Structure 1
């Protein structure tokens, strides 16, 4: 009987080991440009378990070794790879069949993306709809490889977008913004990141729901059309427009509901700890003054009695909190609360 039990345990042990989950880590690159790809969808084949690559193209996923991962990205060929324990390095290839259907605005004209020789990235409306936000710069953030978006943190404050790193030490790093063919001055946005809060975001007048597509010109294609103004790259924003005569009427209603909570509170002292800290601070400051070699009457060396005769400054010395105040408020909990916000957008146009 014992032999049979041992035999059954040995029989099912490999199945238990194989079914154990392991953490898979890796990085996804564009095979042509060798740049990392953020936002790549990674799905365990046959399941709903998946994740996305972060801004640097890294991903982490828990699954078993016998599973297959499916990598998919807009404009790239879908790739299936078997799970490995070592860090996975994945290179996705451009799908020319998808590029035949992609039309990109290059300055003052449109071309098929397959005919482009420069580095241009496009974000379509269906991709923009996945990112629910009230600002244009957050639509771009994490959507295009090599584009870094930062803001001053002030509502409506200036933003800074750098394409492929810093291109100038003194001339600024802001790209040129072109909205429906009209260039906007980017320098006012760059000034807004100094923390002064004086400049305003020049893209704040655009409703993200009205954007049809966003294109980012990264290389010489930008300077060929816009000259020196496009040296740091160009961001083309095309808004939605009505169709020609004979189009169908379309009414679009967008409702966004947000519930916001403080994700991480700052670690601070409570009331009694603050009182103790302030008392010790006063004592430490007195000790520093008393042991100063330049002190009139000589410094304290541990042999003198601590009285007003040897140290007249003791007459006016006192600690801030000789007795506890009993106040212990967590101001973060009292100040912050759950924020519930709603955003309604109604649009009508001919398509």
Structure 2
């Protein structure tokens, strides 16, 4: 917490304490003198003062321990390549929970009765707090199963896509990317963690920073098909040739680490060169090129490939791009 905010909250707490003391004075003094009121205060509240001081000491010590240890632990886990932020956050929550229990045990003489009362109240509140509880459960699933991590690029359902900025107990913060176009909009989106229980989560960077992408070009049937395929292939190699080699190797390494037969089969099927696909349509044939792209630069690389294809097609009269139009043919009688 920043120093400015800490001073602000201390001042608010002091003002609230003075108001409570003033209210208590008018309610209990009953028109008597200040001496009578102070005597009553000594009788009623001074007995609890050691307990209050003890509870405050526990909370302050917890704060000091967290500030001193968690930062160093975060750096250590981060150097070891572990889940530093998640582990650090869990430790913080656990320490605060233990300190609150200890502080309550100091303040309250009969803690078992208090816990039972809180349990009964909590049972009733469970129905009213279903969403926060489901968000907390989803947060635990995110921490354990890791469907996404901070800095991962994900899409949530068909509506949201972006880079994960933070994962808290109840919500996830994401920097928005225009869905399907990989272009950052600059907006921050907050969605509840329980979304993962109802929506599909697509993670583009969970294992590697690469994904398969595809470019399609419609070519007229009168065009030279083999030349169109070769031009499309050459354009893709010029743009993503090195990227595809690196991406294919990264995908193979990840597949080798997995022990399933499916993963071993995928290792053999990962190509390191662009793949040509041809499909027939009503008024044209479609030349498609499949390639491995950087997950965060899909649209940029796709645009470069399209630009090169258009330039190369214009250099020859043997290839013509198909587009919707009407052609009139006059027959001589």
TM-score (norm 2): 0.22
Structure with greater proportional strand content: 1
Normalized against structure 1, the TM-score is what? 0.21
